[in-house]
């Protein structure tokens, strides 16, 4: 069945005012469907006399389209128990796609499908059959169904000493294990993404730390008491029975469950830790990478990864699950999210005298949507409510009401974690703090300020009223203390009260142009990380000061200039001028640069506070969803026959499309569906576009008869 025509018609006819947002995406999907139709025809035409033993003949579809079908089906029925995942596990297209993704991680470059050799496809097919026949074992060290393209080791000719070392020491995850993990991940992720709570924002596509900060700014204004909890011990591992029980809540496929269970229970062989002896550093020659060896992460990226907040530092690794571990952790913690959603409804007690939250339905679209951080003063009788957000193993609960409500919730939370996760918590691990003390979350501090703004609104009759108001403002500021701590951990400075930059000796052998370029990339990522902080200018300017001072000390040691002042005098405050010239009467630097004999030096950015961008205060809508989820839900809505019938009726009633044009559209889709299916009678294509009021025209073979019957039914 081909559904490109209604998909395209809905996109063009129903959203003419915003073609750049959804219309273009839908049009692109339509173009992809047409391309796939042509490719399938070419495949049938060009593979009439192909080798039946060729594994490529098993690929009837593109792997991405198979994944898309699973995503759409999961979001169409999010509450339905899934029992048919083995059918997707048999799809060879997913295994080829997983092989491409793992090869990209292994080799550092994407491998097109046309570049996959037949021998690799045969080995990949053997791996798939072994998984389906229950012959696959996790953590194999010597016997593999498929090996990495860069693994040239001949295991049959290894000595006993090398074999013993392979079997008893820590080894990286086998290549075939990562392929199986990738296939399971592609199958399980769409199933649970349609079911996960909207309160979790870690290890999920489209939900980052920035999203969590924007949700806090949007929804946590007006809360007085906060409970901050750390459940990161769950990320270290849970009992296998708990994980499988949480997994079987929505998935009842025995083969998939057994694969995950064996990955959790198979022991991981690790070598005992050995104390490293301090060896005197010797001069090391610059190492040349092999042809198939991926480049290591650049220095600026390593440094930025060192700035990861406490909530994002720990990534779970359970047994042989690999990239499945974060997904399994979210599946287990989703029970806590659902429990907290029930408590949010239970604790909500509206008050009619409250300025904002006075409706029994809740807080949907209440308050000042253009300034959600501001909450007017409501007096002693306030609405009692709570809110909750989780990022990985850390969560934050805001309580609006007396401290006793927070204490009751904490007691219930301790009992729930003890019963569900067998995790012993106490009052010290779940402290209750007031907003005036400042709440640290994701290296940002939540605090409250009392403000007296002038409120202007339009009264009855169109009269504009201006009056002085009073209320609290939620402030989300970046923690300078945490920033200093991270810089000190990376070796950029020493000291707390008066931080002193230290020379960045990792870049000692690099040129001035390369060093400045690396640090500019680091500064650019820092600007983006602190994008939503109220003190963005101050914190980024401080980061620029530390990095500039570190480079100045490095250049002073490298070029023997003795002090930072002399470096700034020669190289300017942005260090954009060359600090060392060739001996003798050499031409000017600009002449060398013009002739291409010198490398251009980029000055450091954000050396002045006025150069740092302003804080991003763009509105965050209620009920926000990532772009891919909005596209999926929009597609499902447009694919619904009821939606199509309603839109068709509306278009005809408003005169936007005539009945004759509609009939022509049906006939065109009839021809196209017949061409795709390769038969004369295209029942699928006709059934798709003909609504429930015209079922008498669904089984017509002749085109002219179809057109006559459609006109006769007064479409």
- What per-residue confidence (pLDDT) applies to 1? 38
Is the Cβ–Cβ distance between 412 and 227 less than 8 Å? no
State the burial class of residue 213 (Cβ atoms within 10 Å of its Cβ: 0-12, 13-18, 19+): buried
Is the Cβ–Cβ distance between 489 and 509 less than 8 Å? no
- Percent of the chain scoring above 70 in pLDDT: 77
Q: What angle do CA 109, 51, 175 make, to 5 degrees?
A: 30
- What per-residue confidence (pLDDT) applies to 460? 74
C-alpha span between 337 and 594 (Å, rounded): 61
pLDDT band of 196, cuts 50, 70, 90? very high
Could you read off the pLDDT of 267-288 as tens digits, one per residue? 888 877 655 555 555 555 666 7
Could you read off the pLDDT of 338-378 as tens digits, one per residue? 999 999 999 998 888 777 776 776 655 455 556 677 777 66
- Residue positions counted in the chain: 715
- What per-residue confidence (pLDDT) applies to 704? 58
- What per-residue confidence (pLDDT) applies to 313? 86
Model confidence pTM above 0.85: no
C-alpha span between 511 and 4 (Å, rounded): 55
48-57, 256-265, 531-540, 598-607: the lowest-pLDDT one: 48-57
Using alpha carbons, list the distances in angstroms from residue 496 to 73, 482, 492, 536, 546.
54, 11, 12, 20, 13
How many CB atoms within 10 Å of residue 196? 18
45-59, 276-290, 423-437: which is most confident: 423-437
The secondary structure of the chain in percent helix, strand, coil, rounded to multiples of 5, reads 50, 10, 40
Token readout for 275 is 């104390």
Token readout for 464 is 């504009």
C-alpha span between 238 and 264 (Å, rounded): 10
Best CA proximity match to 228, nearest among 508, 455, 439: 439
38 pLDDT higher than 80: no
SS3 16: coil
Q: How far apart are the first and last CA of the chain?
A: 23
Is the Cβ–Cβ distance between 337 and 238 less than 8 Å? no
Q: For residues 686-704, give the mean pLDDT.
A: 44
Residue with more model confidence, 539 or 623: 539
- Write down the mean pLDDT value for the chain: 80
Token readout for 119 is 């021998």
Q: What angle do CA 98, 102, 103 make, to 5 degrees?
A: 115
Q: Helix 659-677 crosses helix 641-653 at what angle (to 10 degrees)?
A: 150
500 pLDDT higher than 80: yes
Q: For residues 395-400, give the mean pLDDT.
A: 94
Beta strands 432-434 and 225-230, pairing class? antiparallel
Could you read off the pLDDT of 52-87 as tens digits, one per residue? 778 888 888 889 999 999 999 999 999 889 998 999
C-alpha span between 182 and 102 (Å, rounded): 8
pLDDT band of 586, cuts 50, 70, 90? very low
pLDDT band of 458, cuts 50, 70, 90? confident
- What per-residue confidence (pLDDT) applies to 413? 95
Q: Tell me the Cα Rg of the chain.
A: 31
Instruction: Give me the phi and psi of 132, to 5 degrees please.
Output: -70, -30
SS3 223: coil
Token readout for 42 is 């070419």
Return the bridge partners of 432, or none: 227
- What per-residue confidence (pLDDT) applies to 671? 63
Contacts of 626 by beta carbon, 8 Å cutoff, 6+ apart:
205, 206, 207
pLDDT band of 598, cuts 50, 70, 90? low
Question: Which ranges constitute the DSSP H helices of 389-511?
Answer: 403-421, 480-490
C-alpha span between 100 and 428 (Å, rounded): 48
Could you read off the pLDDT of 108-142 as tens digits, one per residue? 888 888 889 999 999 999 999 999 999 999 998 88
Is the Cβ–Cβ distance between 203 and 234 less than 8 Å? no
Could you read off the pLDDT of 238-276 as tens digits, one per residue? 889 999 999 999 999 999 999 999 999 998 888 776 555
Best CA proximity match to 353, nearest among 383, 385, 386, 375: 383
Is the Cβ–Cβ distance between 543 and 484 less than 8 Å? no
Q: For residues 422-428, give the mean pLDDT.
A: 90
Is the Cβ–Cβ distance between 389 and 211 less than 8 Å? no
C-alpha span between 190 and 66 (Å, rounded): 12
- What per-residue confidence (pLDDT) applies to 299? 83
- What per-residue confidence (pLDDT) applies to 50? 63
675 pLDDT higher than 60: no
SS3 475: strand
Is the Cβ–Cβ distance between 246 and 331 less than 8 Å? yes
How is the chain split into domains, by residue range? Answer: 55-195, 200-239+296-354+372-478, 491-611, 631-666
Residue with more model confidence, 534 or 674: 534
302 pLDDT higher than 90: no
Is the Cβ–Cβ distance between 340 and 199 less than 8 Å? yes
549 pLDDT higher than 70: yes
Maximum C-alpha span of the chain: 96
Question: Strand order of the sheet with strand 439-441?
Answer: 374-376, 471-478, 444-451, 439-441
C-alpha span between 635 and 439 (Å, rounded): 41
- What per-residue confidence (pLDDT) applies to 229? 93
45-59, 139-153, 562-576: the lowest-pLDDT one: 45-59
Residue with more model confidence, 626 or 141: 626
> What is the 8-class DSSP label of residue 153?
-
Find the Cα–Cα–Cα–Cα dihedral 304, 307, 313, 315, rounded to 10°.
-10
- What per-residue confidence (pLDDT) applies to 334? 94
Could you read off the pLDDT of 11-33 as tens digits, one per residue? 322 333 333 334 334 333 433 43
Contacts of 702 by beta carbon, 8 Å cutoff, 6+ apart:
none
- What per-residue confidence (pLDDT) applies to 367? 55
Q: For residues 493-508, give the mean pLDDT.
A: 85
C-alpha span between 388 and 558 (Å, rounded): 52
């Amino acid at each position: 069945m081909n559904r490109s025509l209604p998909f395209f018609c809905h996109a063009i006819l129903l959203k003419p005012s915003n073609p750049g947002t959804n219309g273009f995406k839908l049009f692109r999907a339509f173009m992809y469907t047409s391309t796939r139709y042509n490719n399938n025809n070419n495949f049938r035409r060009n593979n009439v006399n192909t080798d039946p033993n060729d594994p490529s003949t098993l690929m009837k579809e593109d792997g991405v389209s198979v994944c898309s079908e699973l995503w759409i089906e999961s979001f169409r029925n999010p509450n339905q128990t899934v029992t048919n995942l083995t059918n997707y596990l048999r799809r060879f297209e997913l295994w080829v796609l997983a092989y491409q993704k793992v090869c990209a991680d292994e080799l550092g470059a994407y491998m097109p499908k046309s570049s996959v050799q037949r021998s690799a496809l045969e080995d990949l097919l053997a791996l798939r059959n072994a998984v389906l026949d229950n012959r696959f074992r996790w953590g194999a060290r010597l016997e593999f169904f498929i090996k990495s393209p860069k693994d040239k080791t001949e295991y049959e000719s290894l000595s006993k000493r090398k074999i013993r070392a392979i079997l008893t020491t820590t080894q990286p995850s086998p290549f075939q294990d990562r392929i199986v993990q990738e296939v399971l991940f592609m199958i399980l992720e769409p199933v649970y993404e349609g079911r996960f709570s909207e309160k979790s924002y870690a290890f999920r596509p489209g939900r980052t730390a920035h999203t969590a900060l924007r949700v806090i700014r949007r929804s946590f204004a007006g809360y007085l008491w906060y409970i901050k909890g750390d459940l990161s011990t769950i990320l270290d591992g849970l009992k296998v029975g708990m994980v499988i029980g949480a997994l079987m809540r929505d998935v009842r496929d025995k083969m998939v469950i057994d694969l995950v269970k064996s990955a959790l229970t198979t022991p991981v062989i690790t070598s005992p830790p050995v104390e490293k002896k301090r060896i005197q550093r010797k001069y090391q020659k610059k190492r040349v990478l092999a042809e198939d060896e991926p480049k290591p992460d650049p220095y600026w990226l390593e440094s930025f990864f060192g700035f990861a907040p406490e909530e994002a530092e720990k990534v779970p690794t359970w047994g042989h699950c690999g990239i499945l571990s974060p997904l399994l952790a979210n599946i287990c913690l989703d029970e806590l999210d659902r429990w907290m959603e029930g408590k949010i409804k239970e604790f909500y007690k509206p008050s009619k005298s409250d300025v904002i939250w006075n409706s029994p339905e809740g807080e949907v679209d209440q308050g000042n949507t253009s300034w959600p951080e501001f909450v007017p003063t409501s007096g002693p009788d306030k609405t009692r409510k709570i809110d909750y957000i989780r990022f990985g193993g850390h969560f934050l609960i805001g309580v609006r009401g007396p401290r006793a409500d927070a204490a009751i919730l904490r007691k219930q939370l301790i009992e729930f974690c003890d019963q569900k996760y067998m995790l012993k918590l106490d009052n010290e691990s779940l402290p209750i703090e007031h907003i005036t003390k400042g709440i640290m979350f994701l290296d940002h501090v939540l605090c409250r300020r009392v403000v007296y703004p002038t409120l202007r609104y339009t009264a009855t009759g169109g009269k504009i009223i201006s009056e002085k108001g009073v209320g609290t403002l939620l402030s989300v500021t970046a923690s300078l203390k945490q920033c200093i701590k991270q810089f000190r951990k990376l070796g950029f400075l020493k000291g707390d009260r008066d931080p002193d930059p230290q020379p960045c000796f990792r870049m000692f052998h690099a040129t001035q142009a390369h060093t400045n370029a690396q640090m500019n990339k680091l500064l650019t990522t820092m600007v983006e990380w602190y994008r939503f902080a109220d003190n963005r200018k101050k914190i980024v300017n401080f980061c620029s000061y530390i990095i500039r001072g570190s480079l100045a000390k490095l250049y002073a040691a490298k070029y023997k200039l003795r002090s930072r002042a002399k470096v700034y005098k020669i190289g300017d405050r942005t260090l954009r001028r060359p600090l060392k010239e060739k001996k003798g009467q050499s031409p000017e630097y600009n002449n060398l640069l013009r002739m291409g004999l010198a490398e251009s030096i980029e000055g450091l950015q954000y050396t002045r506070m006025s150069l740092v961008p302003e804080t991003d205060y763009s509105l965050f809508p209620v009920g926000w969803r990532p772009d891919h989820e909005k596209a999926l839900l929009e597609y499902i809505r447009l694919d619904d026959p009821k939606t199509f019938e309603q839109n068709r009726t509306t278009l005809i009633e408003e005169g936007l499309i005539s009945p004759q044009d509609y009939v022509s559209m049906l006939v065109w889709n009839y021809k196209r569906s017949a061409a795709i299916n390769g038969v004369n009678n295209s029942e699928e294509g006709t059934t798709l576009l003909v609504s429930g009021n015209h079922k008498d025209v669904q089984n017509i073979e002749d085109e002219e008869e179809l057109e006559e019957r459609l006109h006769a039914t007064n479409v």
